[in-house]
Amino acid sequence: MIDSPFERAAAAAAFLQDRTSLRPRVAVVLGSGLGGIADHVADRVEIPFDDLPGFPAPTVPGHAGKFVVGTLLGTTVLLQCGRVHYYEGHDFETVMLPPRTLAAFGIQTALFTNAAGGLDPAMRPGDIMIVEDHINLLGANPLRGAHDGRLGARFVDLSTAYDHAVVGVLLDAGSRVGIPLRRGVYVAVSGPSYETPAEVRMLRALGADAVGMSTVPEVIAARQRGLRVGALSLITNRAAGLAGEPLSHAEVEREAKRATVAIGNLVAEALPALDQLG
Ligand code: HPA
């Protein structure tokens, strides 16, 4: 099984290990427009996805497509700038390659970030939501297909997919740096079109607080490998129909850039404690 998902991730991780002697325990995956945090990483080694065997180049503006390994205020960290989305046409195996690579590299805790539309009418652009649970509306489970026991369980438990200790660390960090944090449920849809107002009403009725087009397959892959997982949604817009204005990716990117400093401060503040979770 030379090209099996397990071996693809192992090959990519071996490549990363060749490029840096650092062995971070924490990874932060930076979504649309949030990659700016990487500029603050000291002694950094940057490894573009292009260089990694089996990795596709991201096609979305605002997604740089690289791993950055270094230290952020003294804590060794791996940042993943950009991700692979299902809506780009990749199969789930490719979407799950980066988190599986993180696991093979030795990462123990992964914090995913994403841009999302606010479904909760109280949410405003710029709000940050700690994801406490998710709903998968991508149309299929990403683990559907042949099973390789080296990746973990066939039937992955998701009853505490979003680790309580990580939520606690993020809440503490938020209160120390003065960033109020919401908590809620993230629903993943396939995109790339945004939702209709009727779909937004449906998603809200289903119990979701924020809607986006990523994270869920990565979280499932990471949980299968036993990683501790946390996620933050940056609310870049009110979901379709709630604000009375059309949605655009430019707006999503603009809001994300504006929030980069806040998310960066929050992540930097949380990192030492995330690192200690082991
Ligand atoms: N819907 C889906 N994905 C998104 C949105 C949205 O409103 N905003 C940012 N990503």
Residue in the structure block whose two tokens are 């991780």: 13
**Domains in the chain: how many in total?**
1
The whole-number average pLDDT for the span 87-114 is 96
User: Given this model, what pLDDT does residue 223 score?
Assistant: 98
pLDDT at residue 36 above 90? no
Q: State the average pLDDT for the chain.
A: 93
Compute the distance from residue 13 Cα to the ligand 1 centre, in Å.
Answer: 31
Let me know how many helices (H) and strands (E) the chain has, helices first: 7, 9
Among 166, 214, 9, 2, CA closest to 103: 9
C-alpha–C-alpha distance, residues 197 and 179, integer Å: 30
Domain residues for the domain of 258 are 5-277
Collapsing DSSP states into helix, strand and coil, what is residue 77?
strand
Residue 222 in contact with residue 122, Cβ under 8 Å? no
C-alpha–C-alpha distance, residues 247 and 130, integer Å: 23
What is the full DSSP assignment across 90-141?
--HHHHTHHHHHHHHHT--EEEEEEEEEE-STT--TT-EEEEEEEEEESSS-
The CATH number for 78's domain is: 3.40.50.1580
Q: Which amino acid is at 49?
A: F
Compute the distance from residue 87 Cα to the ligand 1 centre, in Å.
Answer: 13
Atom from ligand 1 closest to the CA of residue 212: 3
Compute the distance from residue 213 Cα to the ligand 1 centre, in Å.
Answer: 7
C-alpha–C-alpha distance, residues 30 and 37, integer Å: 8
How do residues 210-269 score in pLDDT, each as one tens digit? 999 999 999 999 999 999 999 999 999 999 888 888 888 888 888 888 888 899 899 999
What is the full DSSP assignment across 15-58?
HHHHH-----SEEEEE-TT-GGGGGG-EEEEEEEGGGSTTPPPP
Helix (H) or strand (E) holding 167: helix 164-177
The whole-number average pLDDT for the span 38-65 is 83
C-alpha–C-alpha distance, residues 168 and 26, integer Å: 16
Compute the distance from residue 195 Cα to the ligand 1 centre, in Å.
Answer: 8
Residue of the CA atom closest to atom 6 of ligand 1: 117
Question: 74: which DSSP letter?
Answer: T
User: Given this model, what pLDDT does residue 149 score?
Assistant: 95
Count CB-CB contacts under 10 A for residue 28. 29
Among 21, 1, 4, 81, CA closest to 49: 81
Residue in the structure block whose two tokens are 């195996």: 93
Atom from ligand 1 closest to the CA of residue 240: 7
- pTM of whole model > 0.75? yes
| Ligand 1, CB within 6 Å, residue ranges | 115-117, 194-195, 211-213, 236-237, 239, 247, 252
User: Given this model, what pLDDT does residue 2 score?
Assistant: 56
